């Protein structure tokens, strides 16, 4: 089927579980039924991962997506050849950090040239990325930089709920300082646009407060909810949007889990990540909202403690690939 989107899979940090989960995921025939996966990474490292997990797949290296066969039983790889054979598993490496950056940069080049339909990223390690000379908090900010995008949002997608974040990789004090009505408004707008693109024209969006009990009418905090969140909600309600809040996060996530809302707006990283990860890392997918390209990711880290042991779980990557297929297909239709 030539209409299957071509998904570029970046290998992530070569010292982590990325190579293993890629090999395991691409052994599933149903992945190949819905997309044409192409790994941008290191062929030698993938071979080592194949040995570790006992894979019988064939590894096929190519110079461009046009050279790939895209068939079951094969892993297609653009080999950048950046990883030495003796790179240890499970240890921070500046070489692996630099390589992780270069995989992403190459993938962005390919998608901007029209050779890929979406990006799906295996995990990178922030310490290694910095050691390699690339000072970004994570994939989200790195991709924004490479695509020249001024502002993006992180959305976590699970079977039970979607959570978008107003702030992400900053300390809690800096996060509170950064939150303002304009940023809250733009974050909700990105959530609304994403949900509408998925076919939900009037999504129910719930907004978390910052303080316990969403401030409880000024009892907790210094009026942050009234100052930073309420003006944004009022503006969007005037457009006729179904936006509720600010609400206490502890009860809001319970309500979202039972289906009361289509999306939750979290104010800071752990407020949104904690409830999602309680559901299980294999269930979550990270979607970068606001980029000019479709990008999804696993919702777990490099897991250095189990890297190289052949026990990493591929289900989050499979979910991320499926989400990339859905978003890429809808984007093509919308275009």
The pLDDT value given to residue 280: 62
**283 assigned to some structural domain:** no
Average pLDDT score over residue span 75-98: 97
Q: What is the pTM of this model?
A: 0.84
Indicate whether 24 and 74 sit together in one domain.
Answer: yes
Give the integer Cα–Cα distance in Å for 79 and 61. Answer: 6
On the question of pLDDT at 1 being above 60, the answer is: no
Q: Is 182 left (phi over 0), alpha (psi -120 to 50) or beta?
A: alpha
**45 assigned to some structural domain:** yes
Average pLDDT score over residue span 203-212: 96
CATH code of the domain in which 312 resides: 3.40.718.10
Q: Look at residues 61, 60, 86, 120 and name the one whose alpha carbon lies nearest to residue 299.
A: 120
Mean pLDDT of the chain: 92
Residue 307: how many other CB atoms lie within 10 Å: 24
Q: Which domain holds residue 121?
A: 1-152+291-335
Give the integer Cα–Cα distance in Å for 204 and 138. Answer: 29
| Greater model confidence, 314 or 158 | 314
Indicate whether 43 and 79 sit together in one domain.
Answer: yes
On the question of pLDDT at 117 being above 70, the answer is: yes
The pLDDT value given to residue 300: 86
Indicate whether 265 and 321 sit together in one domain.
Answer: no
**285 assigned to some structural domain:** no
The pLDDT value given to residue 331: 53
Give the integer Cα–Cα distance in Å for 7 and 93. Answer: 27
**113 assigned to some structural domain:** yes
Indicate whether 323 and 240 sit together in one domain.
Answer: no
Q: Which of 232, 257, 278 is a domain's end point?
A: 278
The pLDDT value given to residue 335: 42
Indicate whether 310 and 260 sit together in one domain.
Answer: no
**96 assigned to some structural domain:** yes
**222 assigned to some structural domain:** yes
Average pLDDT score over residue span 258-283: 87
**28 assigned to some structural domain:** yes
Average pLDDT score over residue span 193-217: 89
Indicate whether 123 and 186 sit together in one domain.
Answer: no
Average pLDDT score over residue span 12-40: 97
Indicate whether 147 and 31 sit together in one domain.
Answer: yes
Grade residue 334 by pLDDT with cuts at 50, 70 and 90. Answer: very low
Give the integer Cα–Cα distance in Å for 6 and 116. Answer: 5
**90 assigned to some structural domain:** yes
Indicate whether 142 and 190 sit together in one domain.
Answer: no
Indicate whether 201 and 105 sit together in one domain.
Answer: no
Q: Under a CB-based contact definition with an 8 Å cutoff, are residues 130 and 163 in contact?
A: no
Q: What is the pLDDT of residues 233-242, one digit of tens each?
A: 999 999 999 9
Indicate whether 44 and 184 sit together in one domain.
Answer: no
Grade residue 283 by pLDDT with cuts at 50, 70 and 90. Answer: low
**Least confident span in 95-104, 281-290, 325-334:** 325-334
Q: How many structural domains does the chain have?
A: 2
């Amino acid at each position: 089927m030539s209409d299957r989107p071509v998904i570029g899979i970046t290998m992530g940090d070569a010292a982590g579980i990325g190579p293993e989960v890629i090999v395991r995921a691409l052994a599933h025939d149903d992945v190949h039924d819905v997309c044409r996966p192409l790994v941008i990474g290191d062929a030698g490292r993938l071979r080592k991962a194949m040995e570790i997990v006992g894979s019988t797949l064939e590894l096929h290296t190519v110079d461009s997506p046009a050279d790939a066969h895209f068939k079951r039983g094969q892993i297609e790889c653009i080999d950048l050849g950046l990883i030495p054979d003796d790179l240890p598993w499970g240890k921070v490496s500046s070489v692996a950090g630099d390589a992780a950056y270069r995989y992403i940069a190459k993938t962005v080049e390919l998608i901007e040239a029209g050779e890929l339909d979406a990006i799906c990223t295996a995990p990178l390690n922030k310490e290694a990325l910095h050691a390699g000379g690339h000072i970004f908090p994570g994939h989200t900010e790195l991709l924004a930089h490479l695509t020249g995008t001024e502002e993006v949002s992180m959305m976590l997608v699970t079977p039970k709920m979607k959570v978008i974040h107003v702030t992400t990789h900053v300390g809690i004090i800096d996060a509170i300082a950064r939150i303002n009505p304009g940023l809250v408004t733009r974050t909700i707008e990105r959530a609304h646009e994403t949900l509408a693109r998925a076919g939900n024209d009037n999504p129910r969006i719930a907004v978390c407060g910052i303080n316990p009990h969403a401030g409880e009418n000024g009892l907790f905090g210094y009026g942050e909810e009234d100052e930073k969140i309420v003006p944004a909600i009022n503006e969007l309600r005037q457009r006729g949007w179904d936006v509720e809040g600010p609400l206490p996060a502890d009860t809001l996530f319970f309500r979202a889990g039972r289906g009361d809302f289509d999306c939750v707006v979290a104010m800071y990283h752990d407020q949104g990540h904690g409830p999602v990860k309680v559901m299980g890392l294999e269930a979550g997918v990270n979607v970068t909202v606001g980029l000019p390209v479709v990008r999804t990711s696993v919702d777990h880290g490099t897991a250095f403690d189990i890297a190289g042991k052949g026990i990493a779980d591929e289900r989050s990557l499979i979910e991320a690939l499926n989400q990339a297929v859905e978003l890429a297909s809808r984007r093509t239709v919308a275009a």
